[in-house]
């Protein structure tokens, strides 16, 4: 019995690992409570399209870039609660969040 690793097996395993990684990023990007931090949207209440949009735009509730947060974005309309609506993501986002489509207000 020989234990050969085929190219097909390597590609299949690579795809499985990639899909798993993207799934973890999606869960992280969809909001949720992180160490007791406030989240504007329950990830379970998002539609598949809304979840997909947040993943594709790499949305996060806390911006990794201090000078670029949703509160300073042209697509954000604010509410008093620390949350607001994003025209691109189609729903509630944190005013401290950020996505790859961030654009400064003029």
Calpha distance 47→64 (Å, rounded): 25
77 compared with 37, residue with greater pLDDT? 77
Q: How confident is the model at residue 31 (pLDDT cuts 50, 70, 90)?
A: very low
Instruction: Please say whether the beta carbons of 77 and 84 come within 8 A.
Output: yes
- What count of residues does the chain have? 106
Whether 1 is covered by a domain: the verdict is no
Look up the domain containing 15 and give its range.
Answer: 7-94
This prediction has a pTM of 0.61
In a domain, 103, yes or no: no
Examine residue 101 and state whether it is found in any structural domain, yes or no: no
Q: Across the beta sheet with 83-86, what order do the strands follow?
A: 76-78, 83-86, 91-94
Task: For residue 104, tell me if it sits in a domain.
Answer: no
Domain annotation covers residue 52: yes
How far apart CA 2 and CA 38 sit, in angstroms, is 55
Check if the beta carbon of residue 59 is closer than 8 Å to that of residue 99: yes
Question: What's the CATH code of the domain at 58?
Answer: 4.10.490
Residue 105, domain member (yes or no): no
Task: Note the pLDDT tens digit of each residue in 43-93.
Answer: 888 889 888 999 999 999 999 998 999 999 999 998 777 899 999 998 889
Crossing angle for the helix pair 48-56 and 7-29, nearest 10 degrees? 100
- Domain count for the chain, please give it: 1
Closest CA to 102 of 67, 83, 74, 78: 74
Residue 99 lies in a domain: no
| Full 3-state SS string of 19-38 | HHHHHHHHHHHCCCCCCCCC
Task: Indicate whether 87 belongs to any domain.
Answer: yes
Model confidence pLDDT, tens digit, residues 7-28: 888 888 888 888 766 665 655 5
So what's the pLDDT on residue 7? Answer: 87
């Amino acid at each position: 019995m020989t234990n050969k690793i085929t190219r097909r097996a390597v590609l299949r395993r690579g795809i499985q690992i990639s899909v798993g990684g993207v799934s973890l990023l999606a869960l992280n990007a969809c909001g949720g409570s992180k160490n007791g931090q406030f989240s504007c949207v329950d990830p379970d209440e998002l539609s598949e399209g809304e979840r997909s949009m947040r993943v594709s735009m790499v949305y996060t509730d806390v911006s990794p870039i201090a000078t670029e947060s949703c509160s300073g974005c042209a697509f954000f309309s604010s509410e008093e609660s620390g949350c607001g609506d994003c025209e691109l993501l189609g729903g509630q986002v944190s005013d401290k969040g950020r996505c790859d489509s961030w654009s400064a207000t003029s």
